[in-house]
Structure 1
């Protein structure tokens, strides 16, 4: 099996709870909260561990909450590669209104990086990149980190003999359009990000496939994966395109669905799976994640059951 290194530049200590009803002004008495180490790459590593794989988690940690974060990772059996920075690791709060089932999510700001910290992070990630394996950069980018960091990392990972799986958004995602070589091995984005990047609506599967093929043709990435919510995901690669979808599931929380997808998808690739199989595994994990409560990720039993029901079609 190839090694996997996940990268989280902007981790969050995830706190989740519930209350009878959310209303203004009143002091709301919540139930005992759950506390989890969160952030894109961290959740990818956690999902991989849940599915029987192993990934190291490169994570930028700061302050007291950073120490808490490291302790929670250790409790879960996830091997951490800590990268220490100044400031305080951010806090994310999710509160569910028990009366309506609606979830309210509050995300606090994290540290602002210096150019020196960003440069050190590039070097440290390259030093830890598994030769012949995969590096997964997932999650939001902290303030102060250069917008072209993903492209710089792709070059460093390629030089180290690994492949980059990128799941990003916003300005760093838009900056990829100016890159002239396919240095991102896999680029994953969701529906809203796809339409933002395309500058137009993508209402049909055919529209999504055309856009994904266009990104591959332009050299933005070798492989493009577009998440379509309850409609599954689509993958484009070298003139081929597949769409995968599970049967409908009951949605409890959408938190962690994308990270569960990336975890299962990358784990499958590391085990030598075909693109179709990796896509199916990712879709099964994403659907399993939305069946879980609050910030919980995919459960192995749900993934195994859904994997057998995934429908993969050529587009």
Structure 2
């Protein structure tokens, strides 16, 4: 099995709770508060650990909140390669309205980085990737803090080669990846959700085939060897130069959608590290995402749910 390294530039302390009704004005008394370590790469590593795998999480953590994130990670089975920063790690809050089951998510922006800090973090990640070996699966997941160059992911791909780099990011960093591909060193895999893919495509992607067409256009443009687009309740599609796959999820009871994307990426990365082909990795990722929406707050997938749901995640090859 290959080693797995996840990278979190903008980790956070995830807080979640419930209240009977959300309305402006009165104090809203929250119930059942939870706190969990968060941020894309950290969540991916936690999902991998929950599924029986092992990952090292390289994360930029600072202040009292960063120390709390470290403490919460201790029982998770995740090995943390901490990159210390002076600024306080951010927090996020997810509040579920019990009356309607609607979920309200509030996310702080995180610290401002300098170019020197980004360069130092990149050096640390390169050292970690060299330590765990060239055959690693490396996952860059989550938002980038202000000040981190938009080409960070592409520079990371060059630094960790020949490891397989999976990227799941957002905002200007994602836009840059698509607008400025590096055909000489494309990412191994790029994942995005439906809203992000439609924004980049500049049009609605109404059907599975629409998403596959757009994904394959990114592959042919040199952005990544594999592009994965989520389609919400319709599951996810995966395209390479020669593959066009769709994996449909089973019907499950939705408790919270928080963590579904990170659980997908964790399941997908773990399957690849275990030697699975792209179709089976897509199936495991889809099952993990489905399992994650069954858990409350910002909790991630559970191994027993993923094992049970995998058989109900059919893979379809499309023309």
In the superposition, the TM-score normalised over structure 2's length comes to 0.96
SS of equivalent to 2:167: strand
Task: Tell me the residue number matched to 1:259.
Answer: 262
Task: Give the Cα–Cα distance (whole angstroms) in 2 for the partners of residues 139 and 35 of structure 1.
Answer: 18
Alignment of 1:15-164 (within 5 A): 15-129=15-129, 130=132, 131-158=134-161, 161-164=162-165
Tell me the alpha carbon deviations over residues 93-117 of structure 1, each in whole angstroms, 9 at most, x when there is no partner: 1111112211111112311011111
Deviation at 1:247, TM superposition (A): 2.1
> 259-268 or 240-249, which moves further after superposition?
240-249
> 175-184 or 89-98, which moves further after superposition?
175-184
Task: Give the Cα–Cα distance (whole angstroms) in 1 for the partners of residues 253 and 144 of structure 2.
Answer: 31
SS of equivalent to 1:16: strand
In structure 1, list runs of 5 or more residues that go unmatched.
none
Tell me the alpha carbon deviations over residues 114-168 of structure 1, each in whole angstroms, 9 at most, x when there is no partner: 111100011110110132011100000100101111111111111xx31110001
Deviation at 1:254, TM superposition (A): 0.6
The answer as to whether partners of 1:86 and 1:111 remain within 8 angstroms in 2 is no
Task: Tell me the residue number matched to 1:179.
Answer: 181
Task: Give the Cα–Cα distance (whole angstroms) in 2 for the partners of residues 180 and 63 of structure 1.
Answer: 36
In the superposition, the TM-score normalised over structure 1's length comes to 0.97
Task: Give the Cα–Cα distance (whole angstroms) in 2 for the partners of residues 98 and 206 of structure 1.
Answer: 37
Alignment of 1:260-299 (within 5 A): 260-299=263-302
RMSD across aligned positions (CA)? 1.0
The answer as to whether partners of 1:246 and 1:283 remain within 8 angstroms in 2 is yes
Task: Give the Cα–Cα distance (whole angstroms) in 2 for the partners of residues 98 and 202 of structure 1.
Answer: 32
The answer as to whether partners of 1:10 and 1:140 remain within 8 angstroms in 2 is yes
In structure 2, list runs of 5 or more residues that go unmatched.
none
Q: Displaced runs of 4+ in structure 1, greater than 3 A?
A: none
Tell me the alpha carbon deviations over residues 34-82 of structure 1, each in whole angstroms, 9 at most, x when there is no partner: 1100010000000000000000011100111011011111132211000
Task: Tell me the residue number matched to 2:208.
Answer: 205
Task: Give the Cα–Cα distance (whole angstroms) in 2 for the partners of residues 104 and 246 of structure 1.
Answer: 24
Tell me the alpha carbon deviations over residues 229-274 of structure 1, each in whole angstroms, 9 at most, x when there is no partner: 1101111112211100122212111100000000000000000001
Task: Give the Cα–Cα distance (whole angstroms) in 2 for the partners of residues 75 and 239 of structure 1.
Answer: 42
